[in-house]
Structure 1
Amino acid sequence: MKKVITKLLLIFLTISLIGSLLLVFVSSILFSPQYVFRTIVNGNSDVMDYKVFSERIIQKSSQPYRYKYNLDESLKDMSIDYTYKGIHRNKTLNSFLKETNTTSFIIVHDDKVVLEEYYNGYDKDSVNTSFSMAKSIDSLLIGKAIEDGYIKSEKQSIADFIGEFKGTNMESITIEDLLLMRSNISYEEGKIWFGDDAKTYYTPDLRNLALAHNNLTEKYEGRFHYNNYHPLLLGIILERSTGKHVADYFEQEVWDKIGAENDASWSLDSKKTGFEKMESGINFKAIDFVKIGSMLLNGGTWNGQHIVNEKWIKQSTLSQFPLNSDEYKGSFLENRNIGYKYMWYSTPNNNGGLDYFAMGKYGQYLYMSPENDIVILRTGNSSGNVDRWEDIFKEISFEVGKYKPDTEP
């Protein structure tokens, strides 16, 4: 009997192995061997993926800006109330950040750094990655391209820049539809390498992927649906309208002007095709990325340089409240009182206004609170067992914002 069971088990394992190999072989033909290899070897995305992909360097500024510091050590002892899986917890800020896999945490108030801390093996010279915070930068660059005259309006059809879509159903989609994540372009999550999450992350030719994906659906009915084909198409539009690589345009119009003290990089789909990973790929040292937030709070001007007009900042970051809850039904924003505008999130603050933020996988946040004159950057190796980081940032902004420039400690 044991021999029969052993034989059947061997047969089962052999069939499973052959089936797996056949699946990999067929998938390599359907997609590409490099793509399938990436998904198998790398698996889920990771904060160290900037070491996996090729990159385009973003040179540091010719006129570096260095923040003034007004450090308040007492902030580390601030009481933080938060929940995880609905269970209430309380810790000091310092303990909370250590225990939530935070790697950098910077608070800027009144254009001065009041807290700058690094945890879990990271320091000021460590490289952090943006994940989907990059989408908010995509939006910023679209606004800049409009201001520079490369694009007439966000209301333009994407086919005005992507001739391959002329005369197709894709012609009905506007740049604004992409920015709002409200086009009819289909997007299927999961399903290992057959799903769009993996395709839009690991495919070694993301331009071709986005141009070939012309599957439209009516199932979204104008509702918000998170879709990584949108930033890829925006990247193609930026390339074709400006005549520059997206990373080069970012370096020229933003990174250099904000006074970045260090080089950054933008991960590429592959060395061969050299297209920026528009959905996730900006890599930086924390003190430089927070300057983007300071620039936004200062109406698009920073380090003595005009970067983007204030009208675009307001138009792109702030949603209309109260929200139409039907727009977010079935999405990860359902019932969170967070709106999504042009690839930025916004939410009511404790002062009667709106805070807004960029957000990426594993809890990457750039958070701005205009009424409190606060910018917060949080990077991490994971989301850290926290239900809603935005609630924590909101409370910190309110408390730190109480200190006026003439009464700060």
Structure 2
Amino acid sequence: MKNIFKILPIIFLLSSCQIGRFVFYNFADIRDYKKFPNRKLQADSTHKYFFAKAEKGKFPVSIKNKEQKEISFDTFLKKTKTVAFLIIKNDTIQYEKYFGKYNQESIVPSFSMAKSVTSILIGCAIDDKLIQSVDEPITNYIPELKKNGLEKVTIKQLLQMTAGVKFNESYYSPFSDAAGFYYGRNLRKKIAKMKTNNQSKATFKYLSGNTQLLGLVLERALKNKTITAYLQEKIWTPLGMEYDASWSIDKKNNGIEKTFCCLNARARDFAKIGRLYQNKGRWNGQQIVSEKWVQESTKIDTSNGSAAYYQYQWWLPTRNGDFMAEGFLGQFIYVNPAKNVVIVRLGKREGDANWWEILPSLANQY
């Protein structure tokens, strides 16, 4: 009986607070979609889009590893802990491989690739006149943040990561804000405590807190509709997604989507998000999100503290018009409109590979 009382505090710690969950789960991995409550996205069985598949696709035979030794491309992907890799040219799959126990139907969490999806939904909300413009102060939607000094922060600053909010992005500390947002069970309460860092000049700083603020702006703008329901309406159904998916939320009852991460889907459906932006927001003749929004989201802009390699929640790896969504552990949706190429890489880890160089290099071979 005494041993039970010794164990009970440990059980309580592990089950009731973010630090306990951080310790218990040890570290984020690509099985995390099983750990959190979520809202479901459903594929429409009567309306699915399938990429064509080349009988003899053009794909890389070999690649140089970190030691500059030529090895087979498949071997390279295995060694870098890749679980899924797709190369799509002109809407045709040139290369599609899965590794380990993963296959075409395997779910992988997006991690921060969800930031780019959140940006798409902000664009849709502006198109639908639910949000007036990116120049609006976020306190138009989250008025309780005025008392925290955030009354001058705009939606655009959140999109560009120049908002100057206080947020500890460390993924390795159970006490960081990032851990609190990832493992915590009341994001709205945590958002209500966010403050400014009082920076005198706007500068780029990548912070997941910015995207979760965007999520609350979006939720308030949608009023009685969840963010997942809006994603279903604007993206999942119109794009003819092949599979069901989900978006992790902070708690079961009245939870909010973790918009800075945690969209759980399959490789081919992630590729369709890339195809949408490759085609400037159009999908088989229908304008899903305005072309203007796509252009603004992926252009190089260094004004007002914005970084040349980042725009509206999309990374810009080169100055050649390509862009990508990137997530923790090396999740990527890479888009090269000039080459009409979309590449998806999903992995257990980044695998000590410079994907920022590898993905543009692969696209340039087509």
TM-score (norm 1): 0.81
The one-character-per-residue Cα deviations of 1:337-365 (angstroms, maximum 9, x if unpaired) are x611011011326xxx2210000001000
> AA paired with 2:313?
M
State the partner residue of 1:271: 252
Distance, in Å, in 2 between the alignment partners of 1:81 and 1:71 is 26
CA contact (8 A) 1:368 1:374 kept: yes
Distance, in Å, in 1 between the alignment partners of 2:200 and 2:85 is 37
Where has structure 1 moved over 4 Å in runs of 4 or more? none
Q: How many correspondences in the alignment? A: 355
Cα distance, 1:277 vs structure 2: 1.0
Which one is further off, 184-193 or 135-144? Answer: 184-193
Q: Per the alignment, do residues 209 and 93 of structure 1 end up closer, same or farther by CA in structure 2, a change over 3 Å counting? A: same
Aligned to 1:57, the other structure's residue is in SS state: strand
Aligned to 1:104, the other structure's residue is in SS state: strand
State the partner residue of 1:335: none
CA contact (8 A) 1:65 1:303 kept: no
Distance, in Å, in 2 between the alignment partners of 1:151 and 1:207 is 20
The one-character-per-residue Cα deviations of 1:194-222 (angstroms, maximum 9, x if unpaired) are 211211211111111112222x2135842
State the partner residue of 1:142: 122
CA contact (8 A) 1:189 1:195 kept: yes
CA contact (8 A) 1:80 1:392 kept: no
> AA paired with 2:56?
D
> AA paired with 1:98?
K
State the partner residue of 2:328: 361
CA contact (8 A) 1:136 1:344 kept: yes
Aligned to 2:268, the other structure's residue is in SS state: helix
1:346 aligns with 2:287: no
Distance, in Å, in 2 between the alignment partners of 1:217 and 1:82 is 42
Q: Per the alignment, do residues 143 and 327 of structure 1 end up closer, same or farther by CA in structure 2, a change over 3 Å counting? A: closer
Distance, in Å, in 2 between the alignment partners of 1:286 and 1:301 is 20
> AA paired with 2:64?
D
Distance, in Å, in 1 between the alignment partners of 2:79 and 2:173 is 31
State the partner residue of 2:49: 65
The one-character-per-residue Cα deviations of 1:235-267 (angstroms, maximum 9, x if unpaired) are 111111112111110111011111101101001
User: Which structure would you say has the larger Rg?
Assistant: 1
Q: Any residues of structure 2 matched to 1:224-303 within 5 Å, and which?
A: 224-243=204-223, 244-303=225-284
Aligned to 1:296, the other structure's residue is in SS state: helix
Q: Any residues of structure 2 matched to 1:68-83 within 5 Å, and which?
A: 68-73=52-57, 75-77=59-61, 79-83=62-66
Distance, in Å, in 2 between the alignment partners of 1:398 and 1:294 is 17
Q: Per the alignment, do residues 392 and 35 of structure 1 end up closer, same or farther by CA in structure 2, a change over 3 Å counting? A: same
Which one is further off, 89-98 or 271-280? Answer: 89-98
State the partner residue of 1:372: 339
The one-character-per-residue Cα deviations of 1:28-53 (angstroms, maximum 9, x if unpaired) are 7xxx9332321221122111110000
Aligned to 2:150, the other structure's residue is in SS state: helix
Cα distance, 1:74 vs structure 2: 5.2
Distance, in Å, in 2 between the alignment partners of 1:253 and 1:100 is 35
Distance, in Å, in 1 between the alignment partners of 2:50 and 2:324 is 23
- Identity of paired residues, percent? 34
1:96 aligns with 2:80: no
Q: Per the alignment, do residues 71 and 237 of structure 1 end up closer, same or farther by CA in structure 2, a change over 3 Å counting? A: farther
Structure 1 unaligned regions, length at least 5: 1-17, 329-337, 401-409
Which one is further off, 193-202 or 177-186? Answer: 193-202
CA contact (8 A) 1:145 1:151 kept: yes
Distance, in Å, in 2 between the alignment partners of 1:260 and 1:43 is 33
Distance, in Å, in 2 between the alignment partners of 1:220 and 1:44 is 35
CA contact (8 A) 1:82 1:392 kept: no
Choose between structure 1 and 2: higher helix proportion: 1
Cα distance, 1:303 vs structure 2: 3.8
Cα distance, 1:306 vs structure 2: 2.2
> AA paired with 1:59?
Q
Structure 2 unaligned regions, length at least 5: 1-5
> AA paired with 1:397?
A
